[in-house]
Amino acid sequence: MRSSALLAVVVFGAAVAVSATSHKSCPLDGLEIEGLPSSIPPSQLPLSFVSAAIGTQNYTCSPSNNYTLVGAVAELYDISCLGKSTLFTSVQDWLFGMWVDAPADLTSQALVSSYTLTRGSAVLGDHYFVPNPSGKPGNSPKWDFTSTGAFKGNKDAFVTVEKFAGSAAPTGPEDIDWVATNGIDGSLSAQVYRTDTREGQPPSSCQHGSSPDIQVKYGSKYWFYGSKLQH
Ligand SMILES: *[C@@H]1O[C@H](CO)[C@@H](O)[C@H](O)[C@H]1NC(C)=O
Ligand SMILES: *[C@@H]1O[C@H](CO)[C@@H](O)[C@H](O)[C@H]1NC(C)=O
């Protein structure tokens, strides 16, 4: 592990440990997305949760010999207690640095549970894909807070979404798009935004029939607006 990443774990772990002893999360006042591209309208709804995530974007090689997204898996951490600080601004960089340096066979869940990082209530939940709940073809992104963290056991604490706006990442083509989505199922939130993306892009081409499915590591922030859950 790079020493910068290790330092980041220690600092972030300390910040989270403080918050975990006294709060489930911290006030979200004044927290807003920095540098939102103009093609993505800002949410008009109140911010309900804010998180940083690490995980993988999964791709399969299409008949056009390029990679298409088939799903993603990620772990989310509550970053509300980092407040308006430089730690809040750069959290996706530390998390992603740790994740990139981790052994290839380590899952994001295992990585996280091996550090003090997520002790207490800092884990918000999981992100993965499910069949489209409206019956349309393909899979839909879902965020699920039902099995860990403050909403463990609350069966409504999830949201499945449809994208309504997106933009290339302001940081460059190696980072996956920033996107804005509307909830179509679940009470976790009415909208989810993905910002501050780090990597996650597939190679530009592949050989249909011989290139294996791939998982590409990424990091991001996820912002949840207009939750119907009591919190
Ligand atoms: C893959 O290639 C096809 C045909 O050129 C194109 O229509 C499609 O947008 C490409 N998909 C991606 C994910 O780049
Ligand atoms: C995506 O990859 C992860 C490994 O990072 C795996 O656990 C998961 O099942 C995959 N999901 C899909 C939909 O491909």
* Amino acid 177: pLDDT: 98
Whether residue 198 is predicted with pLDDT greater than 90 in this model: the reply is yes
Whether residue 88 is predicted with pLDDT greater than 60 in this model: the reply is yes
Average pLDDT, the chain: 87
Would 78 be classed as within a structural domain? yes
Whether residue 118 is predicted with pLDDT greater than 70 in this model: the reply is no
- Say if ligand 2 is within 6 A of residue 129 CB: yes
Would 100 be classed as within a structural domain? yes
- How is 180-197 classified by DSSP, letter by letter? EEEEEE-SS-SEEEEEEE
Would 230 be classed as within a structural domain? no
Would 99 be classed as within a structural domain? yes
Q: In terms of Cα–Cα distance, which of 64, 17, 28, 55 is closest to 197? A: 55
Q: Give the tokens for residue 186.
A: 């679940």
Q: How many domains does the chain have?
A: 1
Would 174 be classed as within a structural domain? yes
Whether residue 1 is predicted with pLDDT greater than 80 in this model: the reply is no
- Say if ligand 2 is within 6 A of residue 109 CB: no
At 84, give phi and psi (nearest 5°). Answer: -85, 85
Would 189 be classed as within a structural domain? yes
pLDDT, greater one: 114 or 79: 79
Whether residue 51 is predicted with pLDDT greater than 60 in this model: the reply is yes
**Ligand 1 atom, smallest distance to 68 CA:** 13
The residue type at 34: E
Would 27 be classed as within a structural domain? no
Would 40 be classed as within a structural domain? no
**Ligand 2 atom, smallest distance to 71 CA:** 13
Query: Whole domain around residue 196: which residue ranges?
Result: 3-19+48-225
Q: What's the CA-to-centroid distance between 193 and ligand 2, angstroms?
A: 21
Q: Which residues are near ligand 1 (CB < 6 Å)? A: 64, 66, 68
Residues 135-157, mean pLDDT to the nearest whole number:
92
Which range, 17-21, 82-86, 130-134, has the best average confidence (pLDDT)? 130-134
Whether residue 129 is predicted with pLDDT greater than 90 in this model: the reply is yes
pTM for the predicted model, two decimal places: 0.88
